[in-house]
């Protein structure tokens, strides 16, 4: 499977809006199956969302929990977005910045999230400098 940048961005935006804290200040985990049922996320397959969650977890962008129901059945739960995940989201949140970032990385052919974040940060810096 390939990591889909649109899915990464949409997932981070969805999680930021969806993840909540309970009365004990603990985050309430969101099942990947619930994410898939959301209208905005339903354009992605369940396996694509699960894969994206696993890769974002490996990269330190989200906290992911695997809860085993039976010997062979498990549920993936997104517990939270990490600080690194929030920083990544802020760098690609703007549709204009994201579009330019996506076009740039597609031309170069490098889709690592570190490169995506650097390119987005560069675009944001250039936009700030050109606004003066």
The pLDDT tens digits of the residues spanning 47-83 come to 999 999 999 999 999 999 988 777 666 789 999 999 9
Q: How far is CA 8 from CA 22, 35, 49, 54, 122, in A?
A: 26, 13, 9, 11, 19
Closest CA to 78 of 69, 67, 89: 67
Q: What is the largest CA-CA distance in the chain?
A: 60
27 DSSP assignment: B
Distance CA 12, CA 14 (A): 5
Residues spanned by the domain of 125: 5-130
pTM of the model: 0.90
* Structural domains of the chain, count: 1
Q: Any idea what the CATH number is for the domain that residue 45 is in?
A: 1.10.10.10
């Amino acid at each position: 499977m390939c990591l889909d940048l649109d899915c990464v961005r949409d997932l981070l935006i969805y999680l930021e809006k969806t993840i909540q804290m309970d009365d004990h200040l603990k985050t309430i985990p969101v099942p990947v199956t619930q994410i898939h049922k959301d209208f905005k996320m339903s354009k992605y397959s369940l396996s694509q969302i699960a894969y994206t969650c696993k890769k974002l977890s490996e990269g330190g962008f989200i906290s992911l929990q695997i809860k085993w129901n039976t010997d062979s059945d498990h549920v993936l739960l997104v517990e939270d977005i990490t600080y690194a995940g929030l920083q990544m989201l802020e760098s690609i949140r703007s549709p204009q910045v994201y579009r330019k970032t996506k076009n740039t990385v597609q031309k170069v052919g490098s889709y690592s999230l570190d490169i995506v974040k650097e390119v987005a940060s560069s675009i944001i810096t250039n936009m700030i400098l050109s606004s003066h």
